[in-house]
Structure 1
């Protein structure tokens, strides 16, 4: 029995290590001191603290009396995913049980778990109601355009007193390359806005969308995909610059080339669709991110009455959410929908 327990612990630690190496959103994971266990396994408690401001000090009265409010808010996990993997007994015995499932577990983390976890994290942040966003097409943009938009975003955060000590810039490798090439070609030109970030993290575009759909696994549809969204009649009373409107004809939606105020009553918007993210600025304390892995032991064919296979089960659950009083610390630049 002791060997079985040690094996399970070693296997779980391998999964965690691979996940951390493969994930690019792990820098946003909340510290363990920030959260407490809730009443059940799918809840955590997040501390919230508020203190009074300063008042006048006088010789006769002395200090004004304020208060400290320290309480915990219960949060329910919004991510719960898992998979059961089977391997034919002959394949496993040729490779060795431990080697087979360590390799399979590593591949699962690197190619499936980490990309989906990143995509879910960024979509929950960029798609959160109240987050400042802008839609910009950088397909033919110069580095100066990207730098100017980054400067505007950092200026807004600086004026809102958002700390730079844990302010992260997540950006696509393509745009990061544009900025790097600009710095090399123009060593005397300023790109010091990049110094306003404590860390710059490259995120592959396939993990970087404003909304995603987590696929159920039915009909062999696993993993995630950019959300398709739905068309809804717009509620705008004025044409919003940069927004895409559509008209509907027999169930087909056509993009409006030149929106006019007079036509708003018949215009539709594509709501909840996964727009590609150009870059995302996040101050870490604005995010609640907590992950938990559950990796079971490997089941042998002797334990599976109807299958001549080995089986591994894996489950991961957690939460990604923003604190509404810290939305000034988040900004998303989105690419136009195709």
Structure 2
């Protein structure tokens, strides 16, 4: 059965709809128009700072101001893909499209969508953690609304009224919903996009986007797919992200290439069957002057145990003590007269 160009186009359109419908981070993709491509792995994002107002005088007129504009060069860092051979003897009588559609729908829904979301939220955490705008908090029904509202106010104060959005761990959202203040403050609006109706909840005009808890971790391991099932998993030192509050326009989710590929049996050099492949080449970035507008809350974990070593020092009477922080970690220390419990990521 030949796969026509029209059929392939409809097939890709179906997958694109599935992808966008499942991605909780989909609103971030609208910001990709800010990006300038120069070819290759690199792209540029704009960074603009301007002076404030000065006094206007009728003799001299305007005070001269200055602006600083720069392009920040970034690199795509996620190139992921997978292929599936489908033997012709396994094809259903309804034809390849339905069989490929079932496989592709399962793959997009259960593998691609969760991984893209997880990558984006963990990348935001890494970028915002580097500028110390992440805050440890253990969700509790009695305090969560106040804590969440404080972050809304802080972020809103920084943005000056720009539209904001809040991505919230679904488990944390459940705790927030259980607070007595939530039902009094939340508003709900029904929005129809095509044939889909979606209920949007907001607090103080800030849209609340619930995210599966498995996609809201601070750090993930992305498997290579060599000799394994591929996919992603939470890192041993991963912390649960409670929420990410930011201007709608701040996170730049950029997909340079995302497309299914179909190879027909007559063009398949490896076997008598079709090959369905999918590749997504993407990244997420935040302009430097936007990072201070984020508020990220996470649930802390105890610092991992270290394996210290003690050895003889270089001179008499001295002892050499060493400890390794582990790949991707930085080692710090407190000088305290009393014992204390140190949390991972604590400054």
Q: TM-score range by the shorter chain?
A: 0.7 to 0.9
Relative distance call for 1:32 and 1:203 in structure 2 (3 A) is: closer
| CA–CA separation in structure 1 for the residues paired with 2:169 and 2:124 | 16
Deviations 1:261-294 (A, max 9, x none): xxxxxxxxxxxx2111122212222212112443
| CA–CA separation in structure 1 for the residues paired with 2:38 and 2:74 | 8
More off after superposition, 165-174 vs 68-77 = 68-77
Task: Number of aligned residue pairs: give it.
Answer: 285
Deviations 1:7-52 (A, max 9, x none): 3322221111110001101112243532232233x33332333333
Higher relative contact order (CA 8 A, sep 6+): 1
Report the Cα offset of residue 68 of structure 1: 4.5
Q: 1:328 aligns with which of 266, 279, 292?
A: 292
- Match in the other structure for 2:267: 303
| CA–CA separation in structure 1 for the residues paired with 2:102 and 2:155 | 44
Matches for 1:98-117 after TM superposition, within 5 Å: 98-117=97-116
| CA–CA separation in structure 2 for the residues paired with 1:313 and 1:147 | 45
Report the Cα offset of residue 158 of structure 1: 3.3
- Match in the other structure for 1:133: 134
Matched, 1:148 2:112: no
CA contact (8 A) 1:116 1:223 kept: yes
| CA–CA separation in structure 2 for the residues paired with 1:203 and 1:296 | 26
Report the Cα offset of residue 303 of structure 1: 1.7
- Please state whether the residue corresponding to 1:286 is helix, strand or coil: coil
- Match in the other structure for 2:214: 206
Matches for 1:31-50 after TM superposition, within 5 Å: 31-40=31-40, 42-50=41-49
- Match in the other structure for 2:179: 182
- Please state whether the residue corresponding to 2:239 is helix, strand or coil: coil
CA contact (8 A) 2:32 2:253 kept: no
Deviations 1:92-128 (A, max 9, x none): 2544111111222222111111100000000001122
- Please state whether the residue corresponding to 2:263 is helix, strand or coil: coil
Relative distance call for 1:197 and 1:207 in structure 2 (3 A) is: farther
- Match in the other structure for 2:333: none
- Match in the other structure for 2:203: 195
CA contact (8 A) 1:86 1:311 kept: yes
Matches for 1:148-167 after TM superposition, within 5 Å: 148-160=146-158, 162-167=159-164
Please list every run of 5 or more consecutive structure 1 residues that lacks an aligned counterpart in the other structure.
Answer: 229-272
| CA–CA separation in structure 1 for the residues paired with 2:32 and 2:157 | 30
TM-score normalised per structure 2: 0.74
Relative distance call for 1:45 and 1:4 in structure 2 (3 A) is: farther
| CA–CA separation in structure 2 for the residues paired with 1:93 and 1:132 | 53
Matched, 1:220 2:221: no
Please list every run of 5 or more consecutive structure 2 residues that lacks an aligned counterpart in the other structure.
Answer: 188-201, 303-347
CA contact (8 A) 1:214 1:225 kept: yes
Deviations 1:173-203 (A, max 9, x none): 233223333349x96x6679x6235210111
Q: 2:170 aligns with which of 173, 177, 180?
A: 173
TM-score normalised per structure 1: 0.76
CA contact (8 A) 1:163 1:283 kept: no
Report the Cα offset of residue 163 of structure 1: 4.4
| CA–CA separation in structure 2 for the residues paired with 1:3 and 1:312 | 12
| CA–CA separation in structure 1 for the residues paired with 2:217 and 2:70 | 34
Name whichever structure is richer in helix by fraction.
1
- Please state whether the residue corresponding to 2:97 is helix, strand or coil: helix
| CA–CA separation in structure 2 for the residues paired with 1:57 and 1:164 | 26
Relative distance call for 1:64 and 1:170 in structure 2 (3 A) is: same
Relative distance call for 1:137 and 1:66 in structure 2 (3 A) is: closer
